[in-house]
Structure 1
Amino acid sequence: MSTTVGTMRIRHAFALVLCAGLAAGCSSGNGTDTTATSQPSTSESAASSTSTTSQAAAPGPFGSAVCGPGFLKSLTERQKLAQLLTVGVTGTADALDVVKSEGIGGIFIGSWTDESMLANGEAAQVAEASAVPLMVTIDEEGGRVSRVDQLFGPDPSAREVARTMTTDQAYEMALERGRKLRSVGITVNFAPDVDVSSQPDDSVIGDRSFSDDPEVVTRYADAYARGMRDAGILPVIKHFPGHGSASGDSHTGAVTTPPLDQLQNTDLVPFRNLVDTEVGVMLGHLSVPGLTTDGLPASLSPQAVDLLRKGTGYDAPPFEGVIFTDDLSGMKAITDRFDIADAVEQALKSGVTSALWLTTDDVPRVLDHLEDAVAKGRLPQSQVDESVLTVARAKGAVSC
């Protein structure tokens, strides 16, 4: 497809996924109505916030999408910065607190999250409390990376899927799983893993990879992503620019891939083929010779973001969707070298649009740090605004 058409499809589909999942901020009238239950209006949500300095709800109605300048004008600096954060929560109370007090852009449902939040439909309750549509994210690949196997039963790993299923069957499996995720309030899934790997099943990527053949990975990942999209879930492909042939495990330390030119015909192939198919992208904590510099992994690297955004460095279409980091707080590739506030600042400076980490404890401190970074010019205001609008378009809060 053309670059223009691809860009429009990405923006339109991402917004539809989140709006359909949340309803809040996407209805035709004022307030944040859903089709099933009435919700407090945006003004009521704003009034319930704890203080004027950390108030979550932006002033004015978000029931109808607005144009970008109006949206930006309605947010304080802190509220803008909060929209660029996705944080893990322990349960409903934790999620409600960070949404109401800081207006966070997204929450992450992890293995430590109280399952009752999903089982009892409380994720939707949290989304309803947000004045701006909220991303409710999860890491549900199947196999050993599953957060809902106790709730819905297990799905096979990616490698097992490619060994035993056709792509049509993989699509149907993802569609069924996606519908179940949507039924409990999930809107974004950090899957499929599009790493190209021949590693043993139990290695860091291993059976999370569909295959060591990039074309097989592309076909099955495309089928899986289509199933998720058709269920109302935004799929996020990972770990750009490719973890499959890297040495090391970013959970336990630094990771280095082969040089960028060696990734062109293997690891980058699935990204090249899928970035214009209505997905988000997650950056890996990967040092890539010929790409990353200054000791920064891809997740914090302006060069890696530039490669993904422009596409010209690996013969791909431009990408204008949401870019997530991998976890910044629980993986030693980052924590051995960066404080969480510094890591988030560097990620946002690099052009990442959503910095991800695992707990809400540091959210106020991180936002204080980011406000200081903007005030002192370390984090350009124009870049913050551009990233906020990228996320807002994805959520359906901005239509022009």
Structure 2
Amino acid sequence: MLTAAVVGALTAGLVAVAGPQLTANSTDAVPPGAQPQAAPAAQPDPDTCAPMVAALSPRDRLAQRLMVGVDAADPAGATAIVRESQVGGVFLGGNATALLQDDRLAALQKASRTPLAVAVDEEGGRVQRIDELDGDVPSARQMAASDSPEEVAGIARERAGQLRARGVTWNLAPSVDVSDQPRTAVIGDRSFSDDPATVTRYAAAWAEGQQAGGVFGVLKHFPGHGHSSGDSHKGSVSTPPLDQLRAGDLRPYADLVGPGKPLDGRVGVMLGHLDVPGLTTDVPTSIAPAAYRLLREDYRFDGLAMTDDLGAMKAITDRFGLAEATTRALTAGADMALFSNVTPVAPLLDAAEKALAEGRITAQDNDTAVARVLAAKGLCSRG
């Protein structure tokens, strides 16, 4: 069990104390003629996630890797799901807003022994969850056409502040898909532009703005849904070959994530349900080990990687049941599996426990994934 006291004690270890500064008149100054001593090597930040992971039971570690949908119109039902399953996060989709009012999400948090990630997909335009409560935000394409990146950062910061005030901690946005699809297509005006450089600028602005507003962001849909053959909600879709994606759709990831990049360590990445020639064979990217290797090795991303919705998108559900999709995702390399609808959690955890016992999920990989989830929630540092 991970109590609030444990979390507080562990996260307190993140605070570093600066040492004394030498001045020209300091008694510690180097005497004339003496050889100056090399400055001590900087010490790495402590890993405060490892003890938090160790404090969780094996089943609770696996539960941290699940984000499940709850009915925003049914606070009591949502609380029961969290209390019984101890999942790592909940997702609020649709237009119901009961959970987003009157501090009900704070009550939901109390049902969890480990602080929850509470997620929405607030992109603006036709994908919004709080527009009836806090007003409308334009679509990504509209913002890129009419606002500067600095203005978009301000819009994102304000929206994130509104989300945070209601108890939301994660936003599964922005879309970094590069697309010239018609406005109402599956990506369409959810994309900032058909120009990768423009997408990069505006996605960075949105992500940085919402982080400043106190919300963790997730880039999507890796490796690129903008030139896909259809809508993965409705069935299997394919993309251009991997080499072609590298030249366009993947450029925002190359420019934004990985060591030294603007969003390094600041965002997660969502993998779409995409069949990519040259990358995947018989399964979509969200459950394909090769796709996670591409993200981790080629783009050197070491943060949270999560799936798109495994429970209500036919690109997955036409091929696999919920439990098999879950274990395939977790064994492939997903840190977190997403389900947008209310979903029975116990069968998912039973299947994941079986995969762990059989070695299909290794204990080391599982602990690393849980640490990424906890770090994305702001509960610890991975060092």
TM-score after normalising by structure 1: 0.81
Q: Pick closer, same or farther for the CA change 1:25–1:298 going to 2, 3 Å.
A: farther
Which amino acid in structure 2 is aligned with residue 309 of structure 1? R
Distance of 2:51 and 2:197 partners within structure 1: 44
Which whole-Å CA distance do the structure 2 matches of 1:221 and 1:99 have between them?
32
Cα separation, 2, equivalents of 1:175 and 1:73? 35
C-alpha displacement of 1:185: 0.7
Q: Is 2:274 aligned against 1:286?
A: yes
Give the whole-Å Cα distance in 1 for the aligned partners of 2:11 and 2:374. 18
Distance 2:110 2:253 in 1: 34
Aligned length: 338
Q: Residues 215 and 348 from structure 1, CA distance in 2 versus in 1: closer, same or farther, beyond 3 angstroms? A: same
Letter in 2 for 1:103: Q
Asked if residue 264 in structure 1 is aligned to residue 246 in structure 2, the reply is yes
Q: Which residue of 2 aligns with 1:20?
A: none
Match of 2:76 in 1: 93
Q: Give the percent of matched residue pairs that are identical in Structure 1 and Structure 2.
A: 48
Which stretch has the larger CA shift, 96-105 or 122-131? 122-131
1:24–1:128 contact (8 Å) kept in structure 2: no
Q: Secondary structure at the match of 2:328?
A: helix
2:141 paired with 1:162 = no
RMSD value, Cα = 2.0
The one of 104, 128, 131 aligned to 2:110:
128
Q: Given the alignment of the two structures, is residue 81 of structure 1 paired with residue 62 of structure 2, yes or no?
A: yes
Q: What residue ranges of structure 2 are gaps of 5+ in the alignment?
A: 13-45
1:134 Cα deviation after fit = 1.1
CA gap of 1:268–1:92, structure 2 versus 1, over 3 A, is: same
- CA distance 1:264–1:69, change in 2 (3 Å): closer
Q: Indicate which of 174, 179, 183 corresponds to 2:165.
A: 183
Could you tell me which amino acid in structure 1 is paired with residue 235 of structure 2? Answer: G
Q: Which amino acid aligns with 2:85?
A: E
CA separation of 1:159 and 1:30: change in aligned 2, threshold 3 A: closer
Q: What do residues 93-123 of structure 1 show as CA deviations (whole Å, max 9, x unaligned)?
A: 22211221111000001105x4111022211
Query: Does structure 1 residue 335 correspond to structure 2 residue 293?
Result: no
Q: 1:242 aligns with which of 213, 224, 228?
A: 224
Distance (Å, rounded) in 1 between the aligned partners of 2:101 and 2:188: 30
Deviation at 1:77, TM superposition (A): 1.5
- What is the CA–CA distance in structure 2 between the aligned matches of 1:30 and 1:332, rounded to whole Å? 40
Specify the alignment match of 2:297 in structure 1.
310
**Structure 1 residue matching 2:247: 3-state secondary structure:** coil
Which of the numbers 13, 27, 35 marks the counterpart of 2:8? 27
- 1:70 to partner: Cα distance: 3.1
* Distance in 2 between residues matched to 1:309 and 1:115, nearest whole Å: 36
Do the aligned partners of 1:195 and 1:205 also contact (CA within 8 Å) in 2?
Answer: yes
2:7–2:52 Cα contact (<8 Å) kept: no
**Aligned letter for 1:154?**
D
Structure-2 residue corresponding to 1:320:
302
Mark the CA change 1:376 to 1:254 in structure 2 (over 3 Å): closer, same or farther.
Answer: same
Cα distance in 2, alignment partners of residues 129 and 102 from structure 1: 10
The Cα offsets for residues 231-279 of structure 1, whole Å up to 9 and x where unpaired, read as 0111111000000011111000101000000011210011111124011
Separation of aligned partners in 2, 1:80 and 1:371: 10
Structure with higher Rg: it is 2
**Matches of 1:24 and 1:162 in 2, distance apart?**
44
Distance 1:154 1:180, change over 3 A: same
Structure 2 equivalent of residue 105 of structure 1: 88
Decide whether the 8 Å contact of 1:25 with 1:131 is kept in 2: no
Instruction: Provide, for residues 45-68 of structure 1, a one-character-per-residue CA deviation record: whole Å limited to 9, x for no partner.
Output: xxxxxxxxxxxxxxxxxxxx9844
The change in CA–CA distance for 1:28 and 1:69 in structure 2 (over 3 A counts) is closer
Instruction: Determine helix, strand or coil for the equivalent of 2:168.
Output: coil
Question: 1:175 and 1:189 mapped to 2: Cα distance?
Answer: 12
**How far 1:383 sits from its partner (Å)?**
1.8
Bigger mean CA deviation after superposition, 162-171 or 65-74: 65-74
For the Cα contact (< 8 Å) 2:50–2:371, is it kept in 1? no
Matches within 5 A, 1:139-150: 139-150=121-132
Q: Equivalent residue of 1:359, what SS?
A: strand
* Residues 170-196 of structure 1, C-alpha deviations (whole Å, 9 max, x = no match): 111111111101110111101111100
Task: Give, in angstroms, the shift of residue 28 of structure 1.
Answer: 4.8
